[in-house]
């Protein structure tokens, strides 16, 4: 097997845990422990869960900005031990260098990646990524003179320009108006598909996850948050923002995720207290494929109906 085989995990998250000290002698707060998941090369994975469950903490550990208290993350066969240009992060706020132009910000990142490149080559590289995110003409503007959407585009161009092995995004569009958000979602989808970029993205927006992700990881409320389930997106890969809601799988997937966020994210611990949940292999579901042969129902319902059909037999 080689790294290029699609089914071999490119990133393997193995039993990671994160605790923070309790305030004034209280016991430590366990954000999550024994968390496992994998991401394949070229895959786009979204993580959804309520505020405070530990999503950014996971992203920071993947980025190498924070260390897990135990467990490991293996990327392309090597354990992650700190930040690297192999993993580019797009934060909720763009985090641009305010004294540099749009193009300067991108060229700065590209120079860090390829320090021996000629100046003209770096400039052409930066221009290529500015053009890709639709910012031709704004290259000489500084962040203070760019709109929120334009700044976020520079952030996206800068992250892609270092050609990272993995792109990490923490609610990258949440501060934008709906129109700009839609346009940037389309651009990110197009760029990631064209470059077969491996992506881990946090979002609170169910529709955004269904549009962008190949798989959507559902995280329960903390403390001791768990990856309850991984939803496989069964919509066609060539979907667009304008047509996904017409697909028969769309509302099944959407309702399933919304139901999780409203109900099951709270009840998961009691639901699974009797066993049946293995954190080393969070169950994959395909709610888009309802009816016979599909697994659209939440696991408890699926279990109950499985038990019912056994009883009938």
Ligand X SMILES: Nc1ncnc2c1ncn2[C@@H]1O[C@H](COP(=O)(O)OP(=O)(O)OP(=O)(O)O)[C@@H](O)[C@H]1O
Cβ proximity to ligand X: between 100 and 261 the closer is: 261
Whichever of 106 and 199 has its CB closer to ligand X, that residue is 199
Question: Of these, 11, 45, 57, 107, which contacts ligand X (CB under 6 A)?
Answer: 57
CA distance 144 to 20: 36
Asked if 54 is part of the footprint of ligand X (rule: CB under 6 A), the reply reads yes
Q: Which residues contact 127 (CB under 8 A, 6 or more apart)?
A: 103, 136, 139
Nearest CB to Mg ion, comparing residues 17 and 289: 17
Only segment of 55-63, 80-88, 184-192, 246-254 that touches ligand X (CB under 6 A): 55-63
Residues facing 90 on adjacent strands: 169
Token readout for 210 is 């269904």
**Residue linked to tokens 């954190």:** 279
What is the DSSP pairing of strand 29-40 with strand 9-20? antiparallel
- For residue 92, the 8-state DSSP code is S
Judged by CB under 6 A, does residue 52 bind ligand X? yes
Q: Quick one: what does residue 152 bind among ligand X, Mg ion, none, with the CB cut-off 5 to 8 Å set by partner type? A: none
Minimum distance, C-beta of residue 75 to Mg ion, in the bound complex (Å): 21
Given candidates 31, 39, 133, 227, which one binds ligand X under the rule CB under 6 A?
31
CB closer to ligand X out of 54 and 155: 54
- Residue 179 CA, distance from chain mean position: 21
* Of 46-54, 121-129, 187-195, 231-239: span binding ligand X (CB under 6 A): 46-54
| Minimal distance, residue 175 CB to ligand X, in Å | 13
41, 56, 87, 227: which one contacts Mg ion (CB under 5 A)?
A: 56
b/e map 54-88, b = 16+ CB within 10 Å: bbbbbbbbbbbeeebeebebebeeeebeeeeebbb
Q: Whole-number minimum distance, CB 54 to ligand X, in Å? A: 4
Rg of the chain taking only CA atoms, in angstroms: 21
**Smallest separation (angstroms) from Mg ion to the CB of 64:** 17
Ramachandran region of residue 36, left (φ > 0), alpha (ψ -120 to 50) or beta? Answer: beta
Which residues within the stretch 219-238 sit at the binding site for ligand X (CB under 6 A)? 222
Residue nearest to Mg ion (CB): 56
Q: Is 154 helix (H, G, I), strand (E, B) or coil?
A: helix
By CB under 6 A, which span of 52-60, 101-109, 188-196, 239-247 interacts with ligand X? 52-60
Give the nearest distance from C-beta 261 to ligand X in angstroms.
Answer: 12
Closest to 56 in 3D by CA, of 184, 159, 168? 168
Alpha-carbon distance 90 to 59, whole Å? 11
- Check binding of 53 to ligand X (CB under 6 A): yes
**Binders of ligand X in range 154-213 (CB under 6 A):** none
Single out the segment in contact with Mg ion by CB under 5 A; choices: 54-62, 76-84, 218-226, 293-301: 54-62
Q: Which of 75, 237, 77 is nearest to 167 (CA)?
A: 75
Q: Which residues bind ligand X (CB under 6 A)?
A: 20, 31, 49, 51-57, 222
Q: Which residues bind Mg ion (CB under 5 A)?
A: 56
């Amino acid at each position: 097997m080689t790294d290029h085989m699609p089914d071999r995990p490119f990133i393997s998250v193995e039993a990671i845990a994160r605790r923070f000290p309790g305030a004034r002698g209280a016991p430590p707060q366990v954000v999550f422990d024994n968390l496992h998941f994998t991401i394949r090369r070229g895959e786009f994975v979204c993580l959804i869960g309520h505020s405070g469950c530990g999503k950014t903490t996971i992203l920071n550990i993947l980025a190498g900005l924070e260390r897990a208290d135990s467990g490991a993350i293996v990327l392309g066969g090597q354990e992650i031990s700190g930040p690297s240009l192999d993993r580019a992060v797009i934060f909720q706020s763009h985090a641009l260098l305010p004294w540099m132009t749009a193009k300067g910000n991108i060229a700065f990142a590209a120079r860090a990646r390829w320090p021996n490149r000629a100046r003209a080559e770096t400039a052409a590289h930066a221009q290529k990524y500015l053009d890709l995110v639709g910012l031709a003409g704004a290259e000489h503007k500084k962040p203070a003179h760019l709109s929120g959407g334009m700044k976020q585009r520079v952030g996206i161009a800068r992250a892609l320009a270092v050609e990272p092995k993995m792109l990490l995004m923490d609610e990258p569009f949440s501060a934008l108006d709906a129109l700009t958000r839609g346009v940037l979602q389309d651009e990110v989808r197009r760029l990631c598909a064209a470059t077969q970029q491996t992506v881990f993205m946090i979002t609170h927006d169910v529709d955004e996850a269904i549009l962008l992700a190949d798989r959507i990881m559902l995280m329960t409320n903390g403390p001791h948050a768990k990856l309850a389930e991984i939803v496989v997106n069964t919509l066609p890969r060539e979907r667009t923002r304008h047509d996904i809601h017409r697909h028969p799988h769309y509302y099944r997937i959407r309702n399933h995720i919304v139901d999780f966020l409203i109900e099951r994210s709270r009840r998961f611990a009691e639901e699974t207290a009797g066993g049946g949940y293995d954190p080393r292999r969070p169950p994959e579901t395909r709610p888009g494929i309802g009816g016979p042969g599909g697994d659209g129902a939440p696991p408890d319902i699926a279990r109950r109906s499985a038990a019912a059909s056994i009883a009938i037999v």
